Amino acid sequence: MLLEEPPLTKALAALQRAEFEQLRPLLSPFIDTDAFRALPPRDRAQARSLLALGLYFESQTLSDATRTSELMAHSRAQLQVALLEDPEHTLDPLVFPADLIALQRTLATRLPLPGSNSATPDASSLIYVERRITHRSPWVTLLPMGAGQFQNGHPIRGSIVAATQVLGLAVNLIGFWQVESLRDSRGLIPAATHEEARRWQNLQWTGLAVAALSWAVGAGESFYHFEAKDVALRTLESPPAELRDVSD
């Protein structure tokens, strides 16, 4: 029986393959587990730095400035906690971009020196990030109208799939109505309009085929990109209520 590789090992393998998009799905859920807390400080710092790297590259692919800022804030927070767990931790300049290396150096200068009176960094340098986990259903990927894409957080793809299906169904209905309009009182199509009816019927079935193909492609695409959990990040202007209650 083969044991499953730890998430940190998988993340290091993904890093070797330059699959940076795999770092966040592997490490974001892992840092909340007992297995992560059981790791030595050096490994915990390494895992957080890799998560920061994944968040950084993900932020570079987004056009939403707010979302980009949230991901970078979370990346900064992970680097900060990594330094708290292992003050000697550094980033490999051959792997990490210069922006993250400069950010870590800035954070390191704000941390208290070992043995100093201050046990924690200046509160003004802390960033509070709220993580909201949404559980997704794989059955939604089978629904029409781009439901799977919308669930996966891809509204543009969902809109394209939905619009294609609506267009196909609309063409199907138009063809059906036109064929029915050619029937006489007995429900038959006169010989003089057979050719016109055939064209409308071909259009009818073409529209249905487009809608069906769009559903199949959309379902397959959404299932391929399906993730059971979605982790949403949001920066907070002040400590959350739980921390305020503890400090009080």
**Tokens read off for 51:** 């998560």
Q: Please give the average per-residue pLDDT across 237-243, as a whole number.
A: 59
DSSP letters, 125-159, are G--EEEEEEEE--GGGGGSTTTHHHHHTT-HHHHH
DSSP-derived 3-state class of residue 94: coil
Residue 247 pLDDT > 50: no
Average pLDDT, the chain: 81
**How much is the average pLDDT of 226-241?**
66
With bands split at pLDDT 50, 70 and 90, how would you rate the model's confidence at 117?
A: very low
Per domain, the residue ranges of the chain are 7-134+229-247, 139-224
Closest to 78 measured CA to CA, from 58, 51, 56: 51
Which pLDDT band holds residue 208 (cuts at 50, 70, 90)? Answer: very high
**Is the pLDDT assigned to residue 1 strictly greater than 60?**
no
Specify the pLDDT at position 205. 93
pLDDT at 166 over 90: yes
Instruction: Tell me if 73 sits within 8 A of 127, measured CB to CB.
Output: yes
Its pTM stands at 0.49
Q: What is the pLDDT of residue 85?
A: 84
If you average pLDDT over residues 112-129, what whole number do you get?
50
Identity at 69, one-letter amino acid code: S
